[in-house]
Amino acid sequence: MKQVRIGVLAGLAFLAVWLLPELLPSGPNLNLDIAGQLTGGRLALGLFFAYLMGVGTSLTPCVYPLIPITLSVMGVKKGGSRLQNATLGGAYVGGMILTYDAVGIALIALHKTSATLLANPWVIVPIALLFVLLAMPMFGVFELNLPAGLQARLNQVGGPGLLGSFSMGLVAGLVAAPCSGPVTALIAGIVSGTGNYVLGTGLMTIYAIGIGTLFFVLATFSVQLPRSGPWMEGIKSFFGIALVALALLYLKDAFPAFRAAMSSLGHAVTRMAPIAGATVGIGVLLGALHRSFHGSGTDKALKTLGVALAIGGIFVRFGAPAEAAPVATEAGVKSGKLAFVGLDEGLAKAKAEHKPVLIDFGAEWCAACKELEAKTYPNPAVREQTARFVMVKVDGTDETDAIDALYEKYGVPGLPTVVFLGSNGEQVKSAKLVGFESPEKFAARLKKIQ
């Protein structure tokens, strides 16, 4: 039976890596610009994944086995009023929400424009190394524990009743830090990158609700939990693999040579998709999730190989950039790429010809920028409108003082940002676009610029 479960899990991993990325609004390329995609119309998708990560966190060994104990301390009773038990569960989840929202607000307050941060290898490399470090406890390489004295104090917080349940929720994230910390750090990084208090606290709120879902359901309906077991270690390994793969994606965009090598795979990403999926599936079969680094020498070796294959497959599948779609014309099919000019040349040309200007601020590491290039700009309706414009590209891949000055001059909060100047040379601030936009909406936006 165990072998059957592992085989099914490997098959699901294969299909997920092969097929699911194509169903995402941004295609297979996730890259680093998660925050940019959220601000550009990916809110529902971002909230959904934040919720799933919260639920996954609640299934780890640091949280799951303690759920019945926590509910008992809160005063939840099997024979008690369902409304009363639901109120206690809701108070506990409310405490968690308040704590995680406070963390999100603090991070956003310290936020610096993501376009500047993600262009700087001195920032990207430490972030990537931090993710690798946080992944190690998920594999059981070492334990990430709070000091014993602080742990003891936190365990004494709370008790029966609404106030006690709420207090327990306030410190729940810290008590579960050995397992929740790495995943929380991942969500927190996304929240910080948004620079948006409403969006950031929304993500943190949904993440906290995901963690608290089991607590609330069990408190309300007295459902019997499945037994704890090795499957929880598999969930930790899953998060560890995700953290290391994300770290590699960060490192890819920190070095031009690495980035160029992955860019060369762009044309082959669809052909390589089943291979990447199969690689991840084989990794799962070998033991990426179900084996342990604390087992026999064979177990350790197979676990190492399985994890390496899973990380490699995910990295290849999600690391290659999107490719611009071809455009059908009366003469046949031609490239979807548009011709852009530099800023100085474009402004001079627009002034001489009395044309409006489209200034596209982008970068090689920016996933939503690639999405604009691949899906929006090649659209026939968009190309019809852009024929009236002088098209300018500002490349923010590498951070410079000149680029920072342009960000400040044109009010660029993150990438991608598309700024419009009217034929009179004045910026049309109401038309500025931040993030991805569908071809239909973008074409309608262009029609308003004169």
Q: What is the pLDDT of residues 41-65, one digit of tens each?
A: 556 777 888 888 889 888 887 788 8
Which structure tokens are listed for 186? 């991942």
As a whole number of angstroms, the distance between CA 35 and CA 191 comes to 7
Reported as a pLDDT band with limits 50, 70 and 90, residue 422 is very high
Q: Are residue 113 and residue 209 in the same domain, yes or no?
A: yes
Number of domains making up the chain = 2
Question: pLDDT at residue 388 above 70?
Answer: yes
The mean of the pLDDT values for the chain is 78
Question: Under a CB-based contact definition with an 8 Å cutoff, are residues 402 and 349 in contact?
Answer: no
Tell me: do 290 and 351 sit in the same domain. no
Picking from 267, 292, 319, the residue at the C-terminal end of a domain is: 319
Sign of the Cα pseudo-torsion (221, 206, 34, 144, in order): negative
Amino acid 183: pLDDT: 74
Question: pLDDT of 155-204, one tens digit each?
Answer: 566 667 888 888 888 888 777 766 777 777 777 766 665 566 777 788 88
Mean pLDDT of 359-384: 82
Which residues, at least 6 apart from 409, have a Cβ–Cβ distance to it below 8 Å?
Answer: none
Whole-number pLDDT of residue 148: 58
Residues 312 and 361 in one domain: no
Higher pLDDT, 349 or 19: 349
- Residues 154, 279 within the same domain: yes
Angle at the Cα of 254 from the Cα atoms of 253 and 259, rounded to 5 degrees: 40
Are both 199 and 156 inside the same structural domain? Answer: yes
The pLDDT assigned to 263 comes to 61
Rounded Cα distance between 42 and 38, Å, is 4
CATH of the domain at 353: 3.40.30.10
Report which of residues 98 and 81 the model is more confident about.
98
**3-class secondary-structure state, position 379:** coil
Neighbours of 387 (CB within 10 A): 9
Of 319, 339, 373, the one marking the end of a domain is: 319
| pLDDT per residue as tens digits for the range 317-331 | 877 655 544 444 444
Q: Are residues 347 and 415 in the same domain?
A: yes
My answer on whether 29 and 177 are in the same domain is yes
- Look at residue 30 and tell me whether its pLDDT is greater than 50: no
Query: Distance (Å, rounded) from C-alpha 412 to C-alpha 419?
Result: 8
92 and 51 part of one domain: yes
Question: Between residues 366 and 430, which one has the greater pLDDT?
Answer: 430
Statement to judge: residues 303 and 367 lie in one domain: no
pLDDT tens for each residue of 122-156: 667 887 888 888 888 888 776 665 555 655 565 56
Query: Of residues 109 and 276, which shows the higher confidence score?
Result: 276
What pLDDT, on a 0 to 100 scale, did the predictor assign at position 262? Answer: 64
Same domain, residue pair 297 and 407: no
Task: Determine the pLDDT at residue 136.
Answer: 86
pLDDT at 57: 86
Q: Of the candidates 299, 319, 339, which is a domain's last residue?
A: 319
Q: What is the pLDDT of residue 27?
A: 47
- Region 263-267: mean pLDDT is 58
| 262-278 average pLDDT score | 70
Residue 142's Cβ-count burial label (10 Å; 0-12, 13-18, 19+) is exposed
267 and 135 housed in the same domain: yes
Indicate the length of the chain as a whole number: 450
pLDDT at 118 over 90: no
Q: By residue range, what is the domain housing residue 423?
A: 327-447
Same domain, 144 and 250: yes
Return the higher-pLDDT residue of 282 and 40.
Answer: 282
Per cent of the chain over pLDDT 70 is 74
User: What confidence score (pLDDT) does residue 306 get?
Assistant: 95
Q: Which residue has the higher pLDDT, 267 or 408?
A: 408
pLDDT attached to residue 302: 94
